[in-house]
Chains A and B, each alone.
Chain A
């Protein structure tokens, strides 16, 4: 069994669908963080069979959890402070997300206009459909 040290302050993102941790790493812009990040792929899980986990050692206000809700609202977010889990956060689908994903419609104004926010709006909470605020193109998640 792989052992990774505990955190004194930061986040443990648990129950990530196996294989999606790198996608989440990219979405959260963790490559730009100057902090310790551990990515555990294909960990054993009673509930999911296999899962991914990301541990991030950082200040607890450093990450946009709203964006995480858009990426996968089934992820469990454990917030760690003083070496203890102080909160288990349930995520929900945000009504709107800004600059988390880019519209892939080549006919969309976001493909040419400089310095424009890329905004997606939740149009169908049941089917979890987000559409580009400008061209209404449906957001399609990357295939694993």
Chain B
């Protein structure tokens, strides 16, 4: 039995197979409509989430399976003081697979150690969010046709953004990737990502403050939101939240085949006028998130569809 804790749990070859399966689901959804008939997915969300929980639920429903769960710690037995280990032992008796989001880092790993069903980490605090990374990889491979030979600009909150850290680690495994980190001084990518991941493997990167200076070099622009919940100081948040706003004027500087990605939700870092630009890929990214979660559920449940 396999779990998913980190995007690096899958080798590059296994990831290729998973993304191939997701693309096949996209092309032939009817083939998979009953692949999980009679199976149940438990969504154990100890903190609020719209996109991720609904994406998992849509994925299981598209496969013909059923879903149940809770969407906040207050509506679960955690409010009575039950441990994560006990909750998952109980859920293992009800469901065939589960997706867990928890504010404490490492909670899904604790669950996986005692679970008798596959556990998917659906986000654990500021630590990992592997299904977002799988979504990002599927989006890039589907829209750019490759996961190598790319220049990717990551813009915004690079300090606290777990999706950025995971994506850098995941893309660092492919050949000829160049990273351009675009952020204000206070939200720069952490030193350990630069040292342990990039410099350790001689992967080229540069850090800039102005998005306009690098726009024409990019194959992908990955925008992120400055997250209020990551700041202890409201003043810092207000000062930095509007540091970058992507608009049509800046988009004019970009290549014709560049794509703009965003893990969503956006606040105002991407102006709504950009939504009409064919290079805006963030809503297609949401759709790819459903396909990749469908592929993941099938893979972890070891369901083969001929």
Task: Report which A residues bind B (CB closer than 8 A).
Answer: 105, 107-116, 124, 132-138
Contacts and interface: CB of A to CB of B under 8 A. Distances in A.
A133 B106 contact: yes
Contact of B102 (A109, A110, A136): A109
Nearest to B109: A134
Contacts of B192: 138
B113 to A, nearest CB: 9
Interface in B109-156: 109-110, 124-127
Contacts, number: 51
B67 interface: no
Contacts of B124: 109, 135
A136 B83 contact: no
B125 A107 contact: yes
Interface in B189-210: 192, 196
Contacts of B83: 113-115
A132 B105 CA distance: 10
A110 B110 CA distance: 9
A124 to B, nearest CB: 8
Interface in B246-279: none
Nearest to B107: A109
Given A135-B105, A135-B106, A109 B126 contact: no
B76 interface: no
B47 to A, nearest CB: 12
Secondary structure dominating the interface of A: loop
Given A109-B102, A109-B124, A113-B85, 5 more contacts: A107-B127, A109-B84, A116-B110, A134-B105, A135-B105
A72 to B, nearest CB: 24
Secondary structure dominating the interface of B: mixed
Contacts of B84: 109, 113
Contacts of A110: 106
Nearest to A135: B105
A108 B109 contact: no
B69 interface: no
Contacts of A109: 84, 102, 104-107, 109-110, 124
A135 B105 CA distance: 5
Interface of B: 83-85, 102-107, 109-110, 124-127, 192, 196
A113 B103 contact: no
A110 B105 CA distance: 9
Nearest to A138: B192
A131 to B, nearest CB: 10
A135 B127 contact: yes
A133 B192 CA distance: 17
A21 B44 CA distance: 46
Contacts of A133: 106, 109
Contacts of B109: 109, 133-134
Contacts of B196: 124
B110 A113 contact: yes
A107 B105 contact: yes
Interface centre among A135, A137, A138 (most CB of B within 10 A): A135
Contacts of B102: 109
Nearest to A132: B106
Contact of B105 (A105, A115, A116): A105
A125 to B, nearest CB: 13
B107 to A, nearest CB: 4
B110 A107 contact: no
A113 B124 CA distance: 14
22 contacts: A107-B105, A108-B104, A108-B105, A109-B102, A109-B105, A109-B107, A109-B110, A109-B124, A113-B83, A113-B110, A114-B83, A115-B85, A116-B85, A133-B106, A133-B109, A134-B106, A134-B107, A135-B105, A135-B124, A135-B127, A136-B127, A137-B105
